[in-house]
Structure 1
Amino acid sequence: MKSILIISRFFYPINSPRSFRTTELAKEFARQGHAVTVLTPQSTEHLAFGREFNVEIQDLGQPKWKEIDLSGKGLGLLIKRALRRGLLMAFQYPNLEFFFSTKTALKIKKRNKEKYDLLISIATPHPIHWGVAAVWKEKDNIARTWVADCGDPFMGVENDTFQKWFYFKYIEKWFCRKVDLLSIPVESAIPAYYPEFHDKIKIIPQGFNFNDINLALYRKNEIPHFAYAGGLIPGRRDPKDFFEFLVNYPHPYKFDLYTKNVELVQSYVERSKGRMEIKEYLPRKELLYKLSKLEFVVNFENAGTKQIPSKIIDYVITQRPILNVSSSSFNKQVVEEFLYGNYENGLKIDNPEQYRIENVAKEFLKLVNS
């Protein structure tokens, strides 16, 4: 049995990829008989969760630094947007608060002489990694092995409209020198990290409990019914060519959009004559059940190859064909094939078993003093 500490900003019941990463790992490590502690901002739901899954949840503290409110319109809203983006790029505000809260929490644990076999810090936000680095020494550490899990790169990120300011590279290199290992979800993301740390990188994909999902028995719908679930990024994860094709498509279909980026799709929805519909975000299990009833699901490629949307794993679980849409080279023919029920050119996922949470947890456990 191993003692495991996971530090994460996001955890159950939050509906986000990093929350799923933390939650699924904690549940699976505990299921395998390990002693699991999760350090995260506590919520009222955590008491029942901890009892059900035998996970100890400790409070990292609720964030007090608030993002700038983007209410209003006109020039005032533009100024607010610029200030909010500037503070994030220049100072990592408000995420930087987690550097201090993580550092403080670990200092208390060290004073209490708490010891773990494995410490996993989960980004985003990346200041959680920095907080661990601030207390990590060559000897007498809180854990035998520290793994920094990076769902997305920091300085090497491809799918952000603005790049971090140059001096953050020194902070990233400082933390990478200290950490034992870096876990990233895909091999193609390795170039997003500084070459001198490539020997520390381990590929560990996002993992889910395939057995915990209830799927519908698929029956063909009267008209093609498909969906997209996730965020959209202008110029990067950009749907405009696909949407423009759909609003001009002469035949009936039904396209459900589970996205918070309403402003990017609203005009197309209005032009679609009722064929497109914006849906409310759903809890993950409920969403996957609904997606499993459809003809196919849609994935919009990120710019570059360093970031792979974690929703692809969810799509694999639904057992529905995946229409992969490139933002840079729209392929009308493949879309038409899908609408006619030909899924031969759908996205193929190699070795889906690697995404089973039991296999992902084992990969992390192999890293203890590796």
Structure 2
Amino acid sequence: MATPSQSGKQIWTSTQMTVQEKRLSILVISFSYRPLNNPRSFRWSHLTEQFAKLGHRVDVVTSWVPSMDEIEQDGLLTIYRVGWKKIERLRARQRDSRSQAGTGTASAKSPFGALRGMLLGAVIRTWRAIHWPDAACLWYFPARTKALSLAKAHQYDVVVSVAPPFTAVLVGRYVRNRCEAPAWILDLGDPFSFLEGAPPNNRALYGRLNETYERAAFREADGVSVTNPQTMERYEAVFPESKGKIRVIPPLLSMPPIYASAAPVRGRLVYVGTLYRHIREPTFLLELFTRACRDDQDGKIELHFFGDVSACIDILGRYQERLGKRLSIHGLVGREKVAEAMGEADILINIGNDTTYQLPSKVVEYAASGKPVVNIAKTEQDSSVRFFSNFPYALNLVTHDGMPSDSHVSQFSDFIWHPPERASRSLLDAWLAPYGTDSVVGDYLDLLRRRRG
């Protein structure tokens, strides 16, 4: 039967979804899919597996990854990996390089290797200045060819474009306009045309084109899903003509719970996630931690970074010289290692974005761990502040784009050494119900069926 969530909506169990509704035939177009290590990959790998378990046929067109089969089938789920292999091998090497940034695991460079790195860096900067709509644009043609051939061979009920990257939206739009009008859904993890700080392309060159294409996609799509109300409100203001199409489907808790009961405080702080220049930088956290260390004469507190920190490695390097072994950079690691790191943490750290409409997907996993969380944000309107304001085991520190004050340091230190009591498992389960698999899968299936009809 249906159970009420915290917000009052109905959460449908897997049994209900299979019994009450017709099976769907779904085509998902997503550049990111397992084994890629990013939020869109985690979310849609899990969702498509759940759809297939519920009896829906799911085909996925995604990017080719070295060492992975081009076609992979698991029951009703079929994955087609396509792309220019030389390009995807280069992209894989770049991912590996970023994953090792600051860890000390990268091999020493020869003079020739340093020169090659400089030349490659110049090529990448030039490419970033001219590519459109994003860095995945070369995937467009092989993805379009495969998606169109599948759509012509099968009568899909729904086509889903998963972004970022926006290239997947262009592929979906092409398929929609050339086939027997299946319903077309956009699933947006981040905005495209108005994304600030880390835009997907050169906004000075393509700003007007970005808005034109995103507006057209919204107009032609049958439905749009975003992960938080702030993004929906911003889109409704930018594209008011598409207001009725947009729906919030929250972050998905796809990682196994890492709940741990109370343990002696050791002072181990852990940040998990990607750092971005301008929109998610670690300077405030590092300065806050440095000042807290001055009162820790025994050297107990330590700060660990897990994830792609390459964009801010220079900032981390400066503080690592001052903090020594208190600051550890582990680079990009697998989900199992992330779960282990969160389980070993005493305090989890989140850094909000410099925008108010982006919600880091990991905040739900942080909450699910049952660990105390320090959330650092620039304004009270940050979506992470709103999320954690309802979570009784978090400390929100609002920076107002400044450096730590004495009050910030005092609150931070007190929270480290006197954290709140851990939540009970039953309380956490109730609080996290809207983000669980049954709830989020039910939200998507409801969206897909409504728009199909």
Please confirm whether the aligned pair reaches a TM-score higher than 0.5, indicating the same fold.
yes
Which segment is superposed worse, 246-255 or 355-364?
246-255
Contact 2:270 2:341 in 1 (8 A): no
What TM-score do the two structures reach when normalised by structure 1?
0.86
> Distance in 2 between the 1:79 and 1:139 partners?
41
Moved more, 154-163 or 266-275: 154-163
Give unpaired runs (5+ residues) of structure 1.
none
- Tell me how far 1:350 sits from its aligned partner: 9.7
| Number of equivalences | 360
The answer to whether 1:7 aligns with 2:29 is yes
| Counterpart check, 1:334 vs 2:411 | yes
Instruction: Structure 2: state its 5+ residue gaps.
Output: 1-22, 98-112, 379-398
Structure 1 residues 301 and 45, CA, compared in 2 at 3 Å: closer, same or farther? same
Q: In 2 relative to 1, CA 49–56 (structure 1 residues): closer, same or farther, beyond 3 Å?
A: closer
**Distance in structure 2 (CA, Å) of the matches to 1:156 and 1:256:** 32
Closer, same or farther: CA 200–17 of 1 in aligned 2, 3 Å: same
Worse-superposed segment, 152-161 or 14-23: 152-161
Cα offset for 1:265?
0.9
CA offset at residue 42 of structure 1?
4.3
Measure how far apart 1:100 and its partner are: 2.3
The whole-number CA distance in structure 2 between the counterparts of 1:45 and 1:75 is 30
* CA pair 257-10 structure 1, distance change in 2 beyond 3 A: same
Do residues 121 (structure 1) and 146 (structure 2) align? no
Q: Counterparts of 2:434 and 2:440 in 1: how far apart (Å)?
A: 7
- Asked if structure 2 preserves the Cα contact closer than 8 Å seen for 1:224 and 1:254, the reply is yes
Distance in 2 of aligned mates of 1:220 and 1:181: 46
Structure 2 Cα separation of the partners of residues 82 and 63 of structure 1? 21
In structure 1, the partner of 2:323 is: 272
Aligned equivalent of 1:105: 146
- Match of 2:194? 156
The aligned runs of 1:167-182 (5 Å cut-off) are 167-182=209-224
Aligned 1:76-115 pairs, distance under 5 A: 79-80=122-123, 82-88=125-131, 91-92=132-133, 94-112=135-153, 114-115=154-155
Amino acid corresponding to residue 163 of structure 2 in structure 1: A
Q: Name the structure 1 match of 2:434.
A: 354
Specify the SS of the correspondent of 1:244.
Answer: helix
Do the aligned partners of 2:161 and 2:169 also contact (CA within 8 Å) in 1?
Answer: yes
- Aligned match of 1:296: 347
Paired position in structure 1 for 2:253: 208
Normalised TM-score (structure 2)? 0.71
More displaced stretch, 79-88 vs 152-161: 79-88
**Does the residue aligned with 2:348 lie in a helix, a strand or coil?**
strand
Please point out which of 287, 290, 304 is paired with 1:256.
304
Seen in structure 2, the aligned counterparts of structure 1 residues 321 and 217 have a Cα distance that, compared at 3 Å, is closer
Q: Distance in 2 between matches of 1:78 and 1:118?
A: 40
CA contact (8 A) 2:348 2:372 kept: yes
- Looking at structure 2, the residues matched to 12 and 158 of structure 1 have their Cα atoms a distance apart, in angstroms, of 27
Match of residue 234, structure 1, among 274, 277, 292 = 277
- 8 A contact 2:70–2:81 mirrored in 1: no
Give CA-to-partner distance per residue, 1:314-348, whole Å, 9 cap, x none: 2122221111012443533431222222349x9x9
What CA distance in whole angstroms lies between the structure 2 residues aligned with 1:150 and 1:63?
26
| 8 Å CA contact retained: 1:158, 1:307 | no
Cα distance in 1 between the residues matched to 2:369 and 2:419: 18
Q: Tell me, in whole angstroms, the C-alpha distance in 1 between the residues paired with 2:328 and 2:144.
A: 45
Larger deviation, residues 9-18 vs 262-271:
262-271
Pick closer, same or farther for the CA change 1:100–1:45 going to 2, 3 Å. Answer: closer
Contact 2:128-2:135 within 8 A present in 1 as well? no
Indicate conservation of the 8 Å contact 1:155/1:163, yes or no.
Answer: no
Q: Hey, what's the Cα distance between the residues in 1 that align with 2:301 and 2:410? A: 17
Q: 1:198 to 1:334 in 2, by over 3 A?
A: farther
Contact kept? 1:221, 1:294, Cα under 8 Å: no
Matched AA of 2:160: I
More helix by share: 2
- Pair 1:263–1:168, CA change in 2 (3 A): same
Give the AA of the match of 2:147: L
Identity of aligned residues (%): 22
Residues 290-313 of structure 1: CA deviation (Å, up to 9, x unaligned): 212321100001112111111112
Structure 1 residues 217 and 364 mapped into 2: Cα distance closer, same or farther (>3 Å)? closer
Name the counterpart of 1:185. Answer: 227
Q: Return closer, same or farther for 1:156/1:334 CA change in 2, 3 Å cut-off.
A: farther
Give the drift of 1:359: 1.2
- Corresponding residue SS for 1:303: coil
Amino acid at match of 1:26: T
Out of 241, 250, 259, the residue aligned to residue 196 of structure 1 is 241
CA RMSD of aligned residues (A): 3.2
